[in-house]
Amino acid sequence: MLYYQVGKNIYYTNVEALAAFTKDTSQSLELKLKYKFIDNPTLWRKEPPLHINHYADMNARVLRDRYDRLELRYSGGTDSQTVLASFIRTNVPVAVHHLATSNISNFTNDLYEHNKKDFERVAKLDNVTEFKAHHFNDMTKKNFEKAIKHYVGHVGTALQNTGMAWMMGNDNSTFTLQIPENNGFVFGKEKPHLVIKDGWWNWTVNDSMFSDCHWNYEKGDMIWFWFSDDVPEIQIKLTHLHIRAIEEVARIEKIKITTQWLEDVQRADSKWYNFILAFCGYEGLNSVLNSVKPKLSDPDGTRVSEYRKYNDEKGITDLYAEYGQEIKNNLRSDLYELGHADPERTYVGEEVIHVSGVWTKPIPIRPVLEDMLPKTGL
């Protein structure tokens, strides 16, 4: 689904790509997504005329016709619920699977219990063929060691805290079920990210946006719902909606758009985050799942701190810290971030707490309105 290109060489993890870039920074460094429409810049210049739901529903029907079975990786949040809404509108049969770390985190367990009645309602929908909740029972140091060896894409602190590590490191993967060969495993990936370059709005995405959905399946394909060569309008329409939403926020705040403001307003902890999502047609299953509260990026940090405590107890944090030494030895110092380790753990000193993301090549969409830019421009 994605890979990294450094000069003419291809890599499948960000650490390998950043290490190669460190050796020769004169080379280009770029994230590549395996979709043809992305490399057709003329497609992006004109906003598709119909409602975003029209293109989402087109894609739902394409997937129905292509696969014997569709399985939606479902949290009930704005991404996966909006995908499910498209399957409901089109009456496309879909199996809904929910992954929970409720045995690792009290916060996650409480969240699951809060949403349980709504999940039961989803399970009764006519087009939902099954609803299964997978509860992660354990994530041992051995599991995580396997995950580090097998992961592809972006590694960062998120690798400690998502189901991706559990799935890649666990021998009893839920993906080895007795199911037909022709499966489509659907993820609600991914919203566009905007930057301004030479006075133009540009589309781009970062590899960290996909850090929880990189594994390979024994049977079937992984599908990022909002990317499609069959319906390229779906991502392009989202991008134009995203631009118009941010322009509206700038008008409401009566400000000029700066690089920092643009970055901040797109963060999950921005006060405008839900406004932008709603403008683009996203909606969670309920008010909690429609908020930043269940996300790892929640400013309160409750879920992350519980995961970290669990990882500390299991020795996973120390293992990641050891892996961080390899990162420190092979990557340029500005490509990762250091923090001090907890002195109560066996590993002491500075450890890698963040690895730089890698961006796709920006695609120009349209000029930014002149009255929205500072006089110096962007």
Taking only the tens of pLDDT, the chain with its 378 residues reads 899 999 999 999 899 999 999 999 999 999 999 999 999 999 999 999 999 999 999 999 999 999 999 999 999 999 999 999 999 999 999 999 998 877 777 888 889 999 999 999 999 999 999 999 987 766 677 777 777 777 777 776 544 555 555 555 555 444 444 456 689 999 999 999 999 999 999 999 999 888 765 555 566 788 999 999 999 999 999 999 999 999 999 999 999 999 999 999 999 889 999 999 999 999 999 999 998 877 765 667 777 778 778 777 877 777 777 778 888 899 999 998 887 655 555 555 567 778 889 999 999 999 999 899 998 767
| Long-range contacts of the stretch 297-301 (C-beta < 8 A, 24+) | 297/267, 297/268, 297/269, 298/269, 299/269
CA-CA distances (angstroms) from residue 235 to 69, 147, 191, 225, 346? 24, 31, 8, 9, 46
In a domain, 252, yes or no: no
Q: What are phi and psi of 257, to 5 degrees?
A: -80, 115
Per-residue DSSP letters for 91-152?
A: T--EEEEEEE-TTT-HHHHHHHHHHHHHHHHHHTSTTEEEEEEEEP----HHHHHHHHHH--
Residue 142 lies in a domain: yes
Q: Please report whether residue 318 resides in a domain.
A: yes
The torsion angle over the Cα atoms of residues 15, 21, 27 and 28, rounded to 10 degrees, is: 30
Inside any domain, residue 19: yes
What is the count of structural domains for the chain?
A: 1
Distance from C-alpha of 299 to C-alpha of 294, rounded to nearest angstrom: 10
The gap from C-alpha 334 to its chain's centroid, in whole angstroms, comes to: 23
Tell me how far apart the alpha carbons of residues 307 and 142 are, in angstroms, rounded to a whole number. 17
Q: Cis ω on the peptide bond leading into residue 351 (within 30° of 0)?
A: no
22 within a domain of the structure (yes/no): yes
Looking at the domain assignment, is residue 122 inside a domain?
yes
Domain that holds residue 350: 2-241+277-372
With respect to residue 258, please indicate whether it lies within any of the assigned structural domains.
no
**């960290």: which residue's tokens?**
208
Closest CA to 225 of 72, 360, 3: 72
Distance between CA atoms of 283 and 277, rounded to whole angstroms? 7
In this structure, is residue 259 part of a structural domain? no
